[in-house]
Structures are given as structure tokens and as C-alpha cells.
Chains A and B, each alone.
Chain A
Amino acid sequence: MGNGAIRRVRAWLELGAEAVGAGLLAATFLAFVVQVVFRYVLDNPLGWTLEACLTLWIWLVFWGGAFLLGPRDHVSFDMLYEACNTRVRRVLALISSLSIVVAFAVSLPATWSFISFYSIQDSATLGIRMDYVFSVYALFAVGTILRYGWRVVCLLRGDPPDPVVTTP
């Protein structure tokens, strides 16, 4: 597969991740509207909407955290970082990224056993297995390890410490 093909696949994946994120939010919003309409207009409250919203909400946060937020999109305190020259920045970025990778990697097995422990429980109204509901955190943890691991590789290879900002 050539470079062009890889880039195209990547672009498609990114678009897909975006669409899933936007879809999750749209679904949360819709479920709420359904809930409000059924409870207040039709006077026939639904039980499942609440649970659907809570499930969608954690999926939205961790999906977004795993695939939609680059290092520069997070809330961060970057004044010191910005004030440093490129060499110091590279070191700081390396320390940040490495600590993230190590902490997430070290806690991954325990995290996974916490999630898989919930396979014995189904959710209250929709009856979805809770380990499926919570599994998005594992996605987030693995996504974070990969993203920052790749950043470590790039920094060591000599790429500039500031990732290219792709979104305005």
C-alpha cells in the first residue's frame, strides 16, 4: 500500500470517528427530547431514555477523548511550555507523553479486569451487558497509549515538538 493509500484510509477513519462522535451527541439530544415529550406531553414516562442518555454520555466523553482530541485540544496550562525554546519543549513534551503512556499502560490490566468484571451485570432497563457499556474506557485507554506513544516516537525521531494543529 502506498503512502497515498495510507493517507486516504487515515482520512476516512478520521471522518468516521468524527461522524460517530457527532452521532453520539445527536442521539443523546434526541433521547432527551423523546423523554421530555413522553413525560410531559404524552404523560407516559419512559424508563429507558435516561439510561440511554447516561450510556451515550460516557461513550461521548471517552470516544471523544480517544479519537477526537489531540494534545492541543485538551484543557491544559501551556504558558510555561509556550515560553520555552524548541529544545526544552521537546524534553517537556517527552516527559508528558511518556508519563501518560506509562501510567495508562501500567493500569491497563487492572482497568480491563474492572470492566470485564461487569460482564455478570446487565443494565437496569435496556438489559445491555455492563462490560459493553464500560468498554469504551478501554478504547480510550488504548487510544491514549497509542496516540502518546506515537508522539514519543515522533519526538525521538526529531519531529518538531508542537503537533501540527489541524483544526482551527
Chain B
Amino acid sequence: MTLSFGLCLAALFVLAAIGTPLALAMIVSAVVYLAMKGQDLGLAAEQIIQGLYNSFLLLSVPLFIVAANIMNAGTISDRLLKFCMALVGRFRGGLGHVNVVANMVFAGMSGSAVADAVGLGKIVIQMMTQGNRYPRGYAAAITAAASTIGPIIPPSIPMVLYALVSDTSIGYLFLGGILPGILMGIVLMMLNYRVARRRNFPVDTAVPMRELPALTVRAFPALLMPVILLYGIYGGATTPTEAAAVAAAYALLLAALFYRALSFRALYDILYESTRASASVGLVIGGALILNYIVASENIPNVVAHAMDGLHVPPLAFLLALNVLFLLLGCLLDATTLILVIVPLFVPTCRALGIDMIHFGVVIVVNCMIGLITPPYGIVLFVLNAITGIPLREIIAEIWQFIAVLVAALLIMILFPEVVLWVPQMFGYAGK
């Protein structure tokens, strides 16, 4: 490691730690590096501009954000919840199950955990805490945990970012997320069932079975969305970015015409909010691209690969150790930075050890999503705290059990790569 690179890292860590916007901190530390190296200071701008301008895949990010925001604004979340209520609301801890299932369905339409927590989460938490039926900390904690499924079941913004840095197929990555997402849903529902029995959570009056068809019909157009999306990508009809545009257009049509829940003013607000969200994600991506450039010109990934090669670590041990590292980093860093900056350091090592890059990608994205709900820095916890006013202390007291079962699910995915790879292989993925 050179002195310039050391100073660059020092600047990054100090600035980030004292609350400087992450994207700007990355640009500043890049300028520090270039100045120390005596290189052209314009390189920072060049990397960030060219990186964003040359990636067609990244265009799906703002489109997925718009799609999720449109669905949150319309009554689509509402209808989905009613449908899920009829489906699983009859069991003990019913609303907890509704929460998880609704998130799994919603995950098929949105690619961001924070969007799911904001949209669905707010409504479900209201339902759960009405009349003190569930402790509010528990309601928020299960919502946070369930929202992590969002970017695992496709579409997924974090997977788009992983595909970008690892040069893997976004289509196979999306497919690889389907079973792990369902697995996460199952472990969360098992936990909810146990806790509900032990703490005697209420049983809601069951929605009569004869109402189920009508509710299904009302929710059907929304349920069709994941099908359209997946068919578009895997039928080979559209590229993932175009599929994202189709998804956003479909959500808009549904909300505006079919459900009639969208005014012009509301649409403007959605566009404006989505622009802000896209700009803030886009800048972090840009900042990470410059850091990647620096890390690559310092030859760090190969140094890591070489060092690992010398240690003769078995692939499984390496994967486990890396996951522990990422879980720890996830307590402190946000998922975008982890995927864009830290993951590339280990990509050459993974390839050298013969680890499947799709398997690795899905596992790492699941890991980073668990990082979104681990204190002290868990962005989903903060968001839920901000929109519901439930104190962080109460959410955190309940979140640990959910983190524990999600980590168990993660371990299953690491130990049994088939959980990830079975679906992609059915669609012709040849492996490695």
C-alpha cells in the first residue's frame, strides 16, 4: 500500500465518520489521492462521469425507484395487504405472517428494502399496533426484517450493482434470488409463529374463504407485475433495464387508470422524490466508481488474491470468513458502498478459489441486506423510526431474534449453493 492510498483511505474514513455525505467524502478522498500521486485532478470527474455515462445497466436504478414509489403512492400496497390478510391472517400471529407474505409479493415488484419498509411497512405497522394488539417494537422489527426480502426476490437494485462490479449476468443473479428470498420468508414466519404462541399474540377473525376469489381479482393486476417483469427478462424479450421501464409504466397504468388512485400532482411529487433518491444513489455509485479506479490502479484485488492463494484457504472457509467480515462491516457501512467498494476487492480471489460468482453474489447481497437491519447503523431501522415514531430502543430490543434467523438462512445458502443455483441452472446457467 502506498502512502497516497493510505492518506486517501484516512481521508475517507475520517470524513465519513464525522457525517460528511458519503458520495462527497469519496470524491474528496479521490482528489487527495490524485494530488498526492501528482496525477491529473480531473481524473476524478472523468471516472465518475464516464462510469455513469457508459453503464446502461445503471439506468434501471432510477426506473426501479420510480416503479416502487408509484406503487407505494397508489392503493396497490393496500390491495396486496387485503389479499394477504385473507390468505394467512387466520393463523396465530396472523398480522406478522401477513407482513412477511406481503413483503415477499411486494419484493417481486420493487428492488429496494427501504422502499418496501416505507410503503408497506407503514400500513402494516399501523394495522399491527391498533389497539395495542402487538408490541410496537415487535411490529417494527418484523417489518424491518421482512423488508430485507425485497432486494432478494427480483428485481433488485443491489444485484444490479453487484452485476456491474463483478461482470456477471443480471438475469441469472435475479433468478438466483428467488429461492433464497422464499427461504428468508419461511424462517421469518417460523419465528413469528413461535413468538406468537409463546407471547400469546391475538388471532384475527378469519376472512371468509368465499371472499378470497374477489380479493384475488382485485389484487390480480398487481400480482401480475412480477410475472411481466420476469417474463420480460428471462423470456429474452427485454433487457433488465427495459424491463424496469416496463415495470414502471405498468405500475403507472395500474395506479392511474385501473385503480384510479393517482392525481397529476401526486405523480409530480413521485417524480420529484424519485429524482432526489436517484441522484443520491447515483452520486454514491459515482463516488464508488472513482474509489474502484484507485483500488484497481493500486492493484489491491490482485494483492488480496495472491495473499489468499498463499494461505491455501479452502473456498468454504474463505466464504464463511468473508461473510463474517461483511456482517460486521454491515453494522457500520451502507449496502451500496459495501457492494461497490468492498466486494470488488475479493472478486479475483473468489474466481481464483473457484467460487461460483452467482452464488457468491446472491449470498453477499443477502448478507448486505441483513446489514440494513443490524444496529447501530441500520438504515431500515432509522427509516421505520422516522416514519412511525416508534423508539429505536424498542425496535432494536426485538430485532435480534430476526437477525438470528436470517443469519441461519444465510448459512444454509452458503453451505448449500443449490439453494441459490438450482433455479438459474433450470434456465440454462452452466455455472462458474
Asked if B304 is an interface residue, CB under 8 A from chain A, the answer is no
Task: Give the residue name and chain of the B residue nearest to A50 (CB).
Answer: B56
Cβ contact within 8 Å between A21 and B275: yes
Answer whether residue B258 sits at the interface, using C-beta atoms and an 8 A cutoff. no
- Please name the 5 residue pairs, one residue from A and one from B, whose CB atoms are nearest each other, closest first: A64-B279, A74-B21, A81-B19, A61-B282, A110-B42
- Bound-state Cα–Cα, A159 to B278, Å: 30
Chain B's closest residue to A72 (CB) is B21
Contact among B17, B56, B58, B275 for A68, CB-based, below 8 A: B275
B4-30 contacts to A, CB under 8 A, are 11, 15-25, 27-28
CA distance A5 to B283 in the complex (A): 33
Residue numbers in B under 8 Å from A26 (CB-CB): 271
Contact across chains for B18 and A113 when beta carbons are under 8 A apart: no
Tell whether A106 pairs with B35 under 8 Å between CB atoms, given A33-B245, A58-B53, A114-B45.
yes
Contacts of B43 in A (CB 8 A): 110, 114
Chain A residue nearest to B40 in the complex (CB): A110
Q: Which residues of A contact B404 (CB under 8 A)?
A: none
Chain B interface residue count, Cβ-Cβ cutoff 8 angstroms:
64
| Chain B 319-339 per-residue mask, 1 if CB under 8 angstroms from chain A, else 0 | 000000000000011101000
Residues of A within 8 Å of B46, CB to CB, are: 114
| Given A73-B280, A74-B24, A77-B377, 9 more pairs with CB closer than 8 A | A36-B246, A58-B49, A64-B279, A68-B276, A96-B25, A100-B28, A104-B31, A106-B31, A113-B42
Q: Which residue of A lies closest to B35 (CB)?
A: A106
Q: Which residue of A lies closest to B242 (CB)?
A: A36
Across the interface, do A58 and B52 meet the contact criterion of CB distance under 8 Å?
yes
On chain B, the residues within 8 Å of A29 by CB distance are 63, 66, 245, 248-249
Name A27-70 residues within 8 Å CB distance of B: 28-29, 32-33, 35-36, 39-40, 50, 53-55, 57-58, 60-65, 68-69
Whole-angstrom distance from the CB of A25 to the nearest CB of chain B?
A: 5
CB atoms of A103 and B18 under 8 A apart: no
Can you name the residue of chain A whose Cβ is closest to the Cβ of B18? A92
Q: Which of B54-80 contact A (CB under 8 A)?
A: 54, 56, 58-59, 62-63, 66
B213 contacts chain A at the CB level, 8 A cutoff: no
Q: Is the interface of B mostly helix, strand, loop or mixed?
A: helix
Q: Which residue of A lies closest to B244 (CB)?
A: A32
A6 in contact (CB, < 8 A): no
Task: List, in ascending order, chain B residues with CB within 8 A of A61's CB.
Answer: 52, 278-279, 282-283, 286
Chain A residues with CB under 8 A of B271? 22, 25-26
B284 to chain A, nearest CB (A): 5
Q: Does B224 touch A at the CB level, under 8 Å?
A: no
Shortest distance in angstroms between A118's beta carbon and chain B's nearest beta carbon? 10
Evaluate contact between A57 and B58: CB separation under 8 angstroms: yes
Q: Specify which chain A residues have a CB less than 8 angstroms from the CB of B292 in the assembled complex.
A: none
Residues of B within 8 A of A54 (CB): 53-54, 56, 59
Once the chains are docked, how many angstroms separate the CA of A57 from the CA of B278? 9
Q: Which residues of B contact A (CB under 8 A)?
A: 11, 15-25, 27-28, 31-32, 34-35, 40-46, 48-49, 52-54, 56, 58-59, 62-63, 66, 237-238, 241-242, 245-246, 248-249, 268, 271-272, 274-276, 278-284, 286, 332-334, 336, 376-377
A76 in contact (CB, < 8 A): yes
Given A68-B276, A77-B377, A141 contacting B45 (CB threshold 8 A) = yes
- Measured CB to CB, the closest approach of chain B to A144, in angstroms, equals 7
On whether the beta carbons of B279 and A76 are closer than 8 Å, the reply is no
Interface residues of A (CB under 8 A from B): 18, 21-22, 24-26, 28-29, 32-33, 35-36, 39-40, 50, 53-55, 57-58, 60-65, 68-69, 71, 73-82, 92-93, 95-96, 99-100, 103-104, 106-107, 109-115, 133-134, 137, 141, 144
Chain B residue numbers with a CB within 8 Å of A21 are 272, 275-276, 279
CB-CB under 8 A for A75 and B245, given A21-B279, A58-B53 = no
With a CB–CB cut-off of 8 A, which chain A residues contact B286?
A: 61
Which of these, A57, A69, A95, contacts B276 with CB under 8 Å?
A: A69
Query: Which chain A positions have C-beta within 8 A of B44?
Result: 107, 111
Q: Are B24 and A75 in contact (CB under 8 A)?
A: no
Contact B280 A74 (CB under 8 A): yes
Complex contact A22–B275 (CB within 8 A): yes
Q: When chains A and B are docked, how far (Å) is the Cα of A107 from the Cα of B283?
A: 17
Q: Are B276 and A73 in contact (CB under 8 A)?
A: yes
Q: How far does the Cβ of A105 sit from chain B's closest Cβ, in whole Å?
A: 10
B279 CB contacts on chain A under 8 angstroms: 21, 60-65, 68-69
A34 to B282, CA, bound (A): 23
Q: Does B272 contact A18, Cβ atoms closer than 8 Å?
A: yes
> Which residue on chain A has the smallest CB distance to residue B379?
A75
B56: chain A residues at CB < 8 Å are 50, 54
Per the bound structure, the CA–CA distance linking A90 and B48 in Å amounts to 30
Contacts of A62 in B (CB 8 A): 279
Contact B49 A57 (CB under 8 A): no
- B15 proximity list for chain A (CB < 8 A): 95-96, 99
* Cβ distance B265 to chain A, nearest Cβ, rounded Å: 12
Residues in B with CB closer than 8 Å to A39 are 242
In the assembled complex, the Cα of A68 lies from the Cα of B280 at a distance in Å of 9
Question: Which residues from B are CB-within-8-Å of A114?
Answer: 40, 42-43, 45-46
